[in-house]
Amino acid sequence: MPSNPQILLASRPRGAATVENFRLVVGDTPPLEDGQVLVRHHYLSLDPYMRGRMNEGKSYAASQPLGEVMMGGTVGEVLESRNPRYAPGDKVVGMGGWQEYAVVDANAPGALRKVDGSQVPLSYYLGAVGMPGVTAWYGLTQIIAPRAGETVTVSAATGAVGSAFVALAKARGCRVVGIAGGPEKCRYATEALGFDACIDHRQHGDVKSMSRALKEACPDGIDGHFENVGGTILDAVLLRANAFSRVALCGMIAGYDGAPLPLQNPALMLINRMRVQGFIVSEHMQLWPQALQELAGLVVAGQLHPRESIAQGLASAPAAFIGLLHGQNFGKQLVKLI
Ligand X SMILES: NC(=O)c1ccc[n+]([C@@H]2O[C@H](COP(=O)([O-])OP(=O)(O)OC[C@H]3O[C@@H](n4cnc5c(N)ncnc54)[C@H](OP(=O)(O)O)[C@@H]3O)[C@@H](O)[C@H]2O)c1
Binding site for ligand X (CB under 6 A): 47-49, 132, 135, 156, 158-162, 180-181, 185, 201, 228-229, 250-251, 253-254, 279-281, 324, 327, 329, 332-333
Cβ closer to ligand X: 77 or 196? 196
CA distances from 312 to 44, 145, 279, 325 (A): 10, 38, 32, 18
- Residue 286 Cβ vs ligand X, minimum distance, rounded to whole Å: 15
Q: Work out how close the CB of 220 gets to ligand X at its nearest, in angstroms, rounded to a whole number.
A: 24
Tell me whether residue 115 or residue 248 sits nearer to ligand X (CB atom): 248
Q: Which is nearer to ligand X, 9 or 248 (CB)?
A: 248
Closest contact distance (angstroms) between CB of 186 and ligand X is 9
Nearer to ligand X, 97 or 327 (CB): 327
In contact, 162 and 154? CB cutoff 8 Å? yes
Nearer to ligand X, 80 or 139 (CB): 139
Cα dihedral 106, 107, 110, 115 sign: positive
Cα distances (angstroms) measured from residue 117 to each of 80, 120, 190: 19, 5, 29
Smallest distance from ligand X to CB 201, Å: 6
- The CA distance from 201 to 217, in Å, is 13
Instruction: Give 160 or 218: the residue with its C-beta nearer to ligand X.
Output: 160
Smallest separation, CB 50 to ligand X (Å):
9
Task: Report the nearest approach of ligand X to the CB of residue 226 (Å).
Answer: 9
Find the shortest distance in angstroms from Cβ 181 to ligand X: 3
Nearer to ligand X, 156 or 274 (CB): 156
Whether 174 contacts 152, CB under 8 Å? yes
What is the distance between the terminal CA atoms of the chain, rounded to a whole angstrom? 17
